[in-house]
Amino acid sequence: MPKYGELIKQARKQDNQETINPDSQMSVKPENQIKYKPDSQKTRKPDRIDDQDEDLVNLCVKVPRPLRQHWAAEAKRKGITMTEVIVSALRSEFGEP
């Protein structure tokens, strides 16, 4: 083991000399980094719901998966959210308090 012990000590000595202080390193952001969301990723909040000062709560409705997928695709195609459609339908059926 004595001959390997010297090799290990030399290797450790080299490792200790090569370590870099993380505080001395500068972080650089890529120049081409997107700083804003593209229009396709922006979410539009329903106008009517934003007018209310009340807290928003979750409303859960169980529907078959194929119907939900179809409705989600149609809503996206029309550029509206399913929340807007559901709130509009509930308002027209039951009105507001």
15-50 pLDDT tens trace: 666 565 666 666 666 666 666 666 666 655 555 555
Q: Residue 1: inside a domain, yes or no?
A: no
Question: How many domains are there within the chain?
Answer: 1
Predicted local confidence at residue 56, as pLDDT? 86
Q: Residue 19: inside a domain, yes or no?
A: no
pLDDT confidence tier of residue 86, bands split at 50, 70 and 90: very high
For 48, the domain range is 42-97
- Counting every residue written for the chain, the total comes to 97
Q: Residue 23: inside a domain, yes or no?
A: no
Q: Residue 6: inside a domain, yes or no?
A: no
pTM summary value = 0.45
Q: Residue 4: inside a domain, yes or no?
A: no
Q: Residue 69: inside a domain, yes or no?
A: yes
Burial class (CB in 10 A: 0-12, 13-18, 19+), 75: middle
Q: Residue 92: inside a domain, yes or no?
A: yes
Q: Residue 86: inside a domain, yes or no?
A: yes
CA angle (96, 65, 76) in 5-degree steps: 65
Predicted local confidence at residue 88, as pLDDT? 94
Predicted local confidence at residue 81, as pLDDT? 93
